[in-house]
Amino acid sequence: MAKNERFEKTYSQGTMNVTEIWVDKETGINYLFHAAGYSGGMTPLLDRDGKPVISPIVNG
């Protein structure tokens, strides 16, 4: 992985129906990506209060 890549995949499941979690390394915001067949979408991952899930940012 290149050092300048902004997003990092932290979770993945499935092959035909794919669900992944991506983290923006600049903001820490987690995104949920789901794809099935030829369609897919991405949205911020929300907690039970409707707020974005934010991971700690690790500088390194």
C-alpha closest to that of 43 among 57, 54, 51, 34: 34
Check residue 3 and give its pLDDT: 66
Q: What pTM was computed for the model?
A: 0.85
Residues in the chain: 60
Mean pLDDT of the chain: 93
Check residue 60 and give its pLDDT: 58
Quote the CA–CA distance of 41 and 25 in Å, as a whole number: 20
pLDDT for 20-30, tens place per residue? 999 999 999 99
Give yes or no for residue 47 having a pLDDT over 60: yes
